[in-house]
Amino acid sequence: MPGTQFRTTTRHMLRESKTYASQTLMGGLSGFESPIGLDRRDRIVALKSGDIGFVHSWDINTSVDGPGTRMTVFMSGCPLRCQYCQNPDTWKMRDGKPVYLDAMISKVDRYKELFKATHGGITFSGGESMMQPAFVSRVFRAAKEMGVHTCLDTSGFLNTNYTDEMLDDIDLCLLDVKSGDEETYHKVTGGTLQPTIDFGRRLARAGKKIWVRFVLVPGLTDAEENVENVARICESFGDAVEHIDVLGFHQLGRPKWHEMRIPYPLEHQKGPSAALKKRVTEQFESHGFVVY
């Protein structure tokens, strides 16, 4: 089939293909229509407009990705390289699969009654979902029009990728505050802290709710001063913060690092003791926060 047939990003571009039925994403993306055949230039244009998004996987869960039953979509691509990352297979956008905007919206529509019944909704995670702001924000807009709760799981590192208008359709943000000082933040992630602070404050000004997430790694993020600084950052978000999740480090992501042959910096790292987690929890509670 000539490549010129794919010089468009319309959702029906493959309808005439005899192999269309087999050109859907399988496994973790089963049921999504994929614009197979778009060349690199077309994909860049469609990504910028939000006509497609690069997705790693998705699932339906009732765990920690927001209230109620959630459809959690893991987007591909992340600018940070966290030492404790559980999903290094989401770092590169090109390793994800392109999915049509309409296909994602249809999937939300399919589950909307379940979401309403359980007070759940859709959560975009990653990778870093803010790497694909047009796609995510357009899905959120459609979800809101259906009456479906929306949740953004992010580090906030790409603060400026999101316009104030895009913030309008976010009900809840799971904001990873990975450190309370620039030195530790850079050591943990390779990035800088200030964008996370700026994004949290923007969310607060917009009247959005925030669940802060803090990963507790002995010897890396557990210093009392670092935790105090995280608490002060959270205080700057005011009443927007509903609670703080103190997440103990674990080794569940290690096999992926091994499989991808990436040197794992925390190969022999232990998780926090009960005493350490209690100390950190009490530090946050002393600032008036509800802590889980």
Question: Are 137 and 202 members of one domain?
Answer: no
Please indicate, yes or no, if residue 266 is contained in any of the structural domains. yes
Tallying the residues shown for the chain, one arrives at 292
> 51 lies in a domain?
yes
The mean pLDDT value for 278-285 works out to 98
Residue 241 has pLDDT above 60, yes or no: yes
Split into its structural domains, the chain has a count of 2
Q: What is the mean pLDDT of residues 50-71?
A: 91
Neighbouring CB atoms inside 10 A of 19's CB total: 9
Q: Which domain holds residue 140?
A: 1-151+162-168
User: How far apart, in whole angstroms, are the C-alpha atoms of residue 148 and residue 108?
Assistant: 8
pLDDT for the residue 55: 95
In a domain, 10, yes or no: yes
Q: What is the pLDDT of residue 155?
A: 98
Question: Which pTM was predicted?
Answer: 0.87
Residue 5 forms part of a structural domain? yes
Q: Which of 53-62, 78-87, 101-110, 133-142 has the lowest mean pLDDT?
A: 53-62
Q: Is residue 156 part of a domain?
A: no
The gap from C-alpha 259 to its chain's centroid, in whole angstroms, comes to 22
Residues 145 and 256 in one domain: no
**Same domain for 110 and 233?**
no
User: What is the pLDDT averaged over residues 226-236?
Assistant: 98
The residue-averaged pLDDT of 152-176 equals 97
CATH label of the domain that carries residue 286 = 3.20.20.70
- 139 in the same domain as 181: no
Same domain, 186 and 133: no
Closest CA to 128 of 162, 103, 154, 110: 154
What pLDDT digit, counting tens, does each position of 168-189 carry?
999 999 999 999 999 999 999 9
> What mean pLDDT, rounded, does the chain reach?
89
Is 157 inside any structural domain?
no
Residue 24 pLDDT > 60, yes or no?
no
Q: Do residues 254 and 214 both lie within one domain?
A: yes
Sequence-distant (≥ 6) Cβ neighbours of residue 177 within 8 angstroms = 196, 200, 212, 213, 214, 230, 233, 234
> Could you tell me if residue 286 is inside a domain?
yes
User: How large is the average pLDDT for residues 36-53?
Assistant: 82
Residues 203 and 132 in one domain: no
Domain check: are 29 and 147 in the same one?
yes
Tokens of 233: 């950052």
Looking at per-residue confidence, does 103 or 13 come out higher? Answer: 103
Does the pLDDT value for residue 104 go beyond 80?
Answer: yes
Residues 127 and 205 in one domain: no
Average pLDDT over residues 264-287: 97
Q: At 20, is the pLDDT very low, low, confident or very high (cuts 50, 70, 90)? A: very low
CA atoms within 13 A on the CB side of 16: 6
Q: Specify whether 8 is located in the same domain as 76.
A: yes
Residue 258 and residue 135 share a domain: no
The answer on 212 and 122 residing in a single domain is no
What pLDDT score was predicted for residue 64? 80
- Omega prior to 127 cis, within 30 of 0: yes
Q: How far apart are the first and last CA of the chain?
A: 55
